Amino acid sequence: MPYQQHPTAIVDDGATIGDGSRIWHFVHVCGGAVIGEGVSLGQGVFIGNRVTIGNRCKIQNNVSVYDNVHLEDGVFCGPSMVFTNVYNPRALIERKAEYRDTLVKRGATLGANCTVVCGVSIGEYAFVAAGAVVNKDVPAYALMVGVPAKQIGWMSEFGEKLDLPIEGEAITVCPHTGTRYALEGKTLRTTPAS
């Protein structure tokens, strides 16, 4: 099924949009954007030229995904969360040649009104709480809160907090999926349910 576009949305020539994606009210997709299948772009979303969005991402209302931001499959961007692409912006100084890449890996959640400062990588299935400000790389499965964001725990792929310390040696199993989570120092590893 081809993508669906609301009559108020603007999709510039050259944009690539996958089947089954939905583009809602007052969205603007620039011509260089590459958007996967089954993506939902909520009201008032802006997608820049040098942006890639994987399959089955959900970008809620009023989010701007600027140039040099790349989302892997299954990323959730909460309402009004913010990406940046220049680290030290000034209105009177053009810094387009200084854009920094931001990578949000598979399955990560970016909560409502959080801010992701450019140049960071957010790991698989990480969970950034509403209102947090991310200014450094985030490990896979990490639960991040505050300003600046700090890790306070670990999240399962199912989206619930795991009963694990932030660091050390420990094992737990997700009651919903049976996935096994093993903490080794500061790294969380998974083994799918058999």
Mean pLDDT of 104-121: 98
Look at residue 182 and tell me if it is in a domain: no
Main-chain phi, psi angles of 33, to 5 degrees: -70, 145
Look at residue 132 and tell me if it is in a domain: yes
Mean pLDDT of 87-93: 96
Q: Are 190 and 179 in contact (CB under 8 A)?
A: yes
Q: What is the C-alpha separation between 77 and 120, in angstroms, rounded?
A: 16
Please give the tally of structural domains in the chain: 1
- Tens digit of each residue's pLDDT (9 = 90 or more) over 5-21: 999 999 999 999 999 99
- Using DSSP bridges, classify how beta strands 150-154 and 142-145 pair: parallel, antiparallel or unpaired: antiparallel
Look at residue 77 and tell me if it is in a domain: yes
Provide the CATH number for the domain around residue 101: 2.160.10.10
Look at residue 181 and tell me if it is in a domain: no
**46 Cβ contact partners less than 8 Å away, ≥ 6 residues apart:** 27, 28, 63, 64, 65, 66
Look at residue 14 and tell me if it is in a domain: yes
Look at residue 74 and tell me if it is in a domain: yes
Range of the domain at 26: 4-164
Cα torsion 145, 146, 148, 153: sign: negative
pTM metric for this prediction: 0.96
The pLDDT assigned to 149 comes to 98
Look at residue 191 and tell me if it is in a domain: no
- Tens digit of each residue's pLDDT (9 = 90 or more) over 117-169: 999 999 999 999 999 999 999 999 999 999 999 999 999 999 999 999 999 99
Look at residue 152 and tell me if it is in a domain: yes
Residue whose tokens read 């505050």? 146
